[in-house]
């Protein structure tokens, strides 16, 4: 306990702790829709597509978080548009956009001169490098996301379970589809610096999947997923500091451990 108190006295640990709290709630909260709609490939594509935005931001000399968000929103809109206008399967459209964004990112990275540490921080994440501006952005995105999804929870759930019925009931399915895609894209992007491009999808999916093993209602599902995300974030951060391991992978491994624990419950 004394060791934990000592660690929490450092400002960079305090920022990391706050970031883990916010991401621990935000990612699983949105991740419920990713799991229910089976959109894990979409979230993975967005996280890797953001790499093109990060590379572009480094070349143009603009804020990497801003450039990655812009590109992620563009890619999500492109995926939604192509899915709507073509007869191709959703996975095929995602694969095309995913491949194009990754290739563009790699091409742009080749234009960089010298080693750019801040670019590669986004690949694996570094929660201990979180700044005050990063925390502020994360807080704003978290509040706006949770408020928006709670306010529009009914149409979001209706298009998740039955798009045709939602359309019959007068819900603007196209608008809410695009809005959900944009929200997922933004949440994935603002979490990259903490968890990393490679692992951010895990924090979206695993706590939500663990909650789905136990939940008996939608409220129960959302509540449990956020609790599992919080525990994963805090326990993973503390374990990474104590064991001197990378924070992102440690947080994800804790969440996977929770998932397997939920599977021990006998099925009815």
Rounded Cα distance, 51 and 104, in Å: 9
Rounded Cα distance, 120 and 55, in Å: 10
Half-sphere exposure of 69 (CA within 13 A, CB side): 14
pLDDT single digits (tens) 177-205: 889 989 998 998 888 878 877 788 888 89
Asked if pLDDT for residue 75 goes beyond 60, the answer is yes
Residues 6+ apart with CB under 8 A from 230: 21, 24, 25
Q: Which residue has the tokens 């949440």?
A: 187
Look up the pTM and report it: 0.86
Q: Which of 185, 182, 188, 179 is nearest to 155 (CA)?
A: 179
pLDDT single digits (tens) 50-67: 888 888 888 887 877 788
pLDDT score at 116: 62
pLDDT single digits (tens) 124-157: 777 777 888 888 888 999 999 999 999 998 888 8
pLDDT single digits (tens) 83-104: 888 877 778 888 888 888 888 8
pLDDT score at 4: 58
Domain parsing of the chain, residue ranges: 2-262
What is the DSSP code (8-state) at residue 267? P
Rounded Cα distance, 98 and 138, in Å: 25
In the CATH scheme, what architecture does the domain 2-262 have? Orthogonal Bundle (1.10)
Rounded Cα distance, 238 and 150, in Å: 31
pLDDT score at 77: 87
Task: List the structure tokens of 197.
Answer: 């491009």
Asked if pLDDT for residue 267 goes beyond 60, the answer is no
């Amino acid at each position: 306990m004394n060791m934990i108190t000592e660690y929490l006295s450092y400002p960079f640990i305090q920022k990391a702790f706050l970031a883990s709290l916010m991401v621990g709630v935000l990612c699983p909260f949105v991740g419920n829709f990713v799991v229910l709609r089976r959109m894990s490939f979409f979230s993975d594509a967005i996280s890797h597509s953001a790499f093109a935005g990060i590379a572009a931001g480094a070349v143009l000399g603009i804020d990497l978080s801003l450039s990655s968000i812009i590109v992620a929103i563009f890619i999500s809109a492109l995926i939604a548009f192509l899915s709507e206008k073509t007869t191709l399967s959703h996975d095929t459209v995602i694969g095309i956009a995913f491949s194009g964004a990754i290739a563009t990112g790699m091409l742009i990275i080749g234009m960089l001169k010298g080693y750019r540490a801040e670019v590669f921080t986004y690949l694996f994440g570094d929660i201990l490098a979180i700044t005050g501006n990063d925390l502020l952005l994360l807080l704003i995105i978290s509040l706006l996301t949770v408020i928006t999804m709670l306010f529009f929870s009914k149409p979001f759930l209706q298009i998740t379970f039955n798009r045709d019925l939602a359309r019959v009931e007068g819900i603007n399915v196209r608008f809410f589809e695009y809005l959900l895609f944009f929200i997922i894209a933004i949440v994935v992007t603002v979490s990259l610096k903490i968890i990393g491009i490679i692992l951010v999808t895990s924090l979206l999916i695993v706590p939500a999947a663990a909650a789905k093993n136990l939940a008996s209602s939608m409220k129960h599902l959302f509540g449990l997923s956020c609790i599992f995300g919080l525990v994963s974030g805090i326990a993973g951060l503390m374990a990474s500091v104590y064991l001197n391991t990378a924070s992102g992978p440690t947080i994800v491994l804790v969440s996977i451990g929770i998932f397997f624990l939920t599977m021990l419950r006998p099925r009815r």
